[in-house]
Amino acid sequence: MPKGMLKLRTKSCAGRFEELRQASEADLQPGTIEYERHRLTRAQADAQELKNARDSAEVVETAFCTFVLSRIAGEIASILDGIPLSVQRRFPELENRHVDFLKRDIIKAMNKAAALDELIPGLLSEYIEQSG
């Protein structure tokens, strides 16, 4: 049998297996031992899939994302903090009002970056609502 035929047959069997699985799930009655056993097995399988995805770095925890983004935001804020002085040294002919204007806008950006760890949970909730 050619290799392609075997794959087709395997897919056909897998499709039939999925149909049978769904049919047997529909026959389960809530509150029965079989139903609870099935629910537990599904939960264990889901937990194992999530663990495997985490181990292979396909998914990460929200706390890790918050940590990384906060660290990067801190580094960006540090760079932003030095911009007014660099501009003033490079262009000494600029008036103080120009440098002060630049400082004010940079401070706004730095404050946004500093608040990132507080914003992430709300942004995550918003994302879940919009994508769900």
Residue type, 25: E
Nearest CA among 5, 115, 129, 25 for reference residue 69: 115
In this structure, are 67 and 109 located in the same domain?
yes
**Domain span including residue 67:** 62-131
Q: How many CA atoms lie within 13 A of 25 on its CB side?
A: 11
Q: Which of 55, 70, 97 is the last residue of a domain?
A: 55
Q: Is the four-CA dihedral 49, 51, 55, 59 of positive or negative sign?
A: positive
pTM: 0.56
* Tens digit of each residue's pLDDT, the chain (132 residues): 444 444 445 556 566 656 656 656 677 888 888 888 888 999 999 999 999 988 898 888 888 888 898 899 999 999 999 999 999 999 999 999 999 999 999 999 999 988 888 888 898 889 889 987
Q: Please state the domain count of the chain.
A: 2
Rounded to the nearest 10 degrees, the angle between the axes of helix 96-114 and helix 116-131 is 60
In this structure, are 84 and 122 located in the same domain?
yes
Distance of CA 21 to the CA centre of its chain: 31
In this structure, are 84 and 109 located in the same domain?
yes
In this structure, are 66 and 127 located in the same domain?
yes
In this structure, are 70 and 98 located in the same domain?
yes
